[in-house]
Amino acid sequence: ATHPGFQALDCEGIKAYVAARPQLAKHVGSPDSSGSWQVREIGDGNINFVYVLEGPAGALCVKQALPYVRAAGESWPLTQDRVRIEAAVLAEEAAHCPQHVPALYHFDARMCIIAMQYLPPPHGIVRKGLIEGRMYPLLATHLARFLADTLFHTSLLAMPSDKFSANVARFSNVEMCRVSEQLIFTDPFFPAPRNRHTSPQLDADVATLHADVAARLAASRLKVKFTQQRQALIHADLHTGSIMATEHTTFVIDPEFAFYGPMGFDVGKILANLLLMYFACDGHATEADPRTQQREWLLSAVAELWASFQRRFCKLWRQHGAKGDACSASLFDTASKEGSAAQQLAEQLFMAELWRDTVGFLGIVMLRRLVTFAHVADMDSIADADARAACERRALHFARHVLANAAGVSSVQQLCDLAQAAW
Ligand code: ADP
Ligand code: MG
Ligand code: MG
Ligand code: MG
């Protein structure tokens, strides 16, 4: 059902909306100048409408959620509560890692609108940049920082349990989670009506996947973890299309799927997307740019992201861990020898489990992008179907292997070696 008083706005409507609100208009220009403002709809995502307003004082980004999925229309209704989640999460993330999140200026529950900092060119969506052959030297370090800061500070390692429980309730996002549960964890294993794959080239591979008991079992365990584990506030849609970057800066956008879930889902999802591009490189190779350097860079980014995340997370734990109820000072008094040893062991065990989760989630996320409803442009933009299928098949077999054998992939180096061998 539509929010009471809700109205979908077009470019003119957005302009009037902003001009009528001085605290928003100031980012664009004085309301008298609104006749000269430029307004464009720039949304290229599947779900919402996104506008940029430009005027004499600068620019502003406005996002509006309709009561359905943009790419599907009214036949696929979707809760507008996702805007409340997005606004609350942008604010929460900014409290922990402001340098990697667009500043939130405004949230309107009735109109399902948020307004935020506009990230101007040369900022671009990372997925697009990667397809064009770009590399981002600081991407892995920045994302590791974003993940460590947001995941650590919203977990029980950093919070007392009363605040933690209040957060779990505040960020309840059941309907959006249901979408992920279906599309990611269930649809890859049967011929769901929405599914598609490169056909007929991958028909046999997909039939094998549908009959794959080990992969299905791994996916069902991960689905339970996704649905049940309240570990931290996760972004939950952290793919390369949710990141805007330049060579020097990185911003994570679009947290409408966020909820309290397993940390490994965020880490695994971003690694999955870097690896999907890794496997797509071959399909984008030309004589002028064989993509060799980019492919190597993508693997090094995977390794760097995990290593840097782990370092930063453990550093935060040692600095702030005593404040949380998971490892209060009386259990892990690092001034004492026993406390210090306990802390070290706690970190090792925690990271070992998180790595196993990460590997499993990255496997299922890759699979899902190859054989279900929403594919990645990294693969889809390879025009030659045979070339595309060859890339997708390598990615599919790699993903299936790590999903079903997550416990056997003991380090990020081993993961990268497997990816290299699969290519
Ligand atoms: P959806 O939820 O529909 O996926 P997104 O939040 O991902 O919407 O935004 C869609 C597109 O709008 C992005 O891919 C990006 O190109 C553009 N965009 C979103 N937020 C900003 C911003 N703060 N600054 C500049 N462009 C943005
Ligand atoms: Mg998006
Ligand atoms: Mg900021
Ligand atoms: Mg979105």
Q: What tokens were used for 214?
A: 């080990």
Give the mutation target among 253, 256, 273 for probing the ligand 1 site: most ligand atoms within 8 A of CB. Answer: 253
Matching residue, tokens 């309290």? 260
The DSSP line for 97-155 is: -GGGSPPEEEEETTTTEEEE----TT-EEHHHHHHTT---TTHHHHHHHHHHHHHHHTS
What pLDDT is stored for residue 323 in this prediction? 82
Distance between CA 327 and CA 93 in Å, rounded? Answer: 22
Q: From the CA of 98, how far away is ligand 3's center (Å)?
A: 4
Q: From the CA of 63, how far away is ligand 1's center (Å)?
A: 8
Our separate counts of H helices and E strands in the chain read 15, 12
Closest atom of ligand 1 relative to the 49 alpha carbon:
3
Distance between CA 116 and CA 127 in Å, rounded? Answer: 21
pTM summary value: 0.97
Distance between CA 404 and CA 216 in Å, rounded? Answer: 8
Q: Of 89, 114, 119, whose CA–CA distance to 18 is shortest?
A: 114
Q: What tokens were used for 206?
A: 């997909």
Give the three-class secondary structure for 200.
coil
Distance between CA 137 and CA 358 in Å, rounded? Answer: 23
Q: From the CA of 45, how far away is ligand 1's center (Å)?
A: 7
Domain coordinates in residue numbering, the chain: 11-116, 124-422
Closest atom of ligand 1 relative to the 251 alpha carbon:
23
- Please enumerate in sequence order all residues whose Cβ is within 8 A of that of 70, keeping only pairs 6 or more positions apart, or say none: 43, 45, 46, 47, 48, 49
Indicate which ligand has the atom closest to the C-alpha of 70.
1
Distance between CA 96 and CA 151 in Å, rounded? Answer: 9
pLDDT tens per residue across span 84-119: 999 999 999 999 999 999 999 999 999 999 999 999
Around ligand 1, the residues with Cβ closer than 6 Å are: 42-48, 50, 61, 63, 102, 116-119, 125, 242, 253-254, 256
What pLDDT is stored for residue 218 in this prediction? 98
Fold: same for 11-116 and 124-422: no
Closest atom of ligand 1 relative to the 70 alpha carbon:
3
What pLDDT is stored for residue 120 in this prediction? 98
Q: Which residues of 371-382 are buried (b: 16+ CB within 10 A; e: fewer)?
A: bbbebbbbbebb
- pLDDT > 70 fraction of the chain, expressed in percent and rounded: 100
Q: From the CA of 131, how far away is ligand 1's center (Å)?
A: 18
CA-to-CA dists, residue 69 to 9, 62, 366, angstroms: 16, 17, 22
CA quadruple 200, 201, 202, 204: dihedral, nearest 10: 70
Phi then psi for residue 258, to 5 deg, are -60, 150
Q: Of 273, 186, 166, 194, whose CA–CA distance to 227 is shortest?
A: 186
Query: Would you write out the chain's pLDDT as a tens digit for each of its 423 residues?
Result: 677 889 999 999 999 999 999 999 999 999 999 999 999 999 987 899 999 999 999 999 999 999 999 988 899 999 999 999 999 999 999 999 999 999 999 999 999 999 999 999 999 999 999 999 999 999 999 999 999 999 999 999 999 999 999 999 999 999 999 999 999 999 999 999 999 999 999 999 999 999 999 999 999 999 999 999 999 999 999 999 999 999 999 999 999 999 999 999 999 999 999 999 999 999 999 999 999 999 999 999 999 999 999 999 999 999 988 788 887 777 778 788 888 898 899 999 999 999 999 999 999 999 999 999 999 999 999 999 999 999 999 999 999 999 999 999 999 999 999 999 998
Q: What is the ipTM of this complex?
A: 0.97
Closest atom of ligand 1 relative to the 123 alpha carbon:
25
Q: Which CATH architecture has domain 11-116?
A: 2-Layer Sandwich (3.30)
- Mark out the alpha helices in 229-291 (DSSP H runs): 263-284
Fold adopted by 124-422: Aminoglycoside 3'-phosphotransferase; Chain: A, domain 2 (3.90.1200)
Q: What tokens were used for 310?
A: 């782990």
Q: From the CA of 253, how far away is ligand 1's center (Å)?
A: 7
Give the mutation target among 28, 39, 42, 53 for probing the ligand 1 site: most ligand atoms within 8 A of CB. Answer: 42
pLDDT tens per residue across span 134-154: 999 999 999 999 999 999 999
Give the three-class secondary structure for 7.
coil
Phi then psi for residue 211, to 5 deg, are -100, 10
Q: Of 92, 109, 97, whose CA–CA distance to 5 is shortest?
A: 109
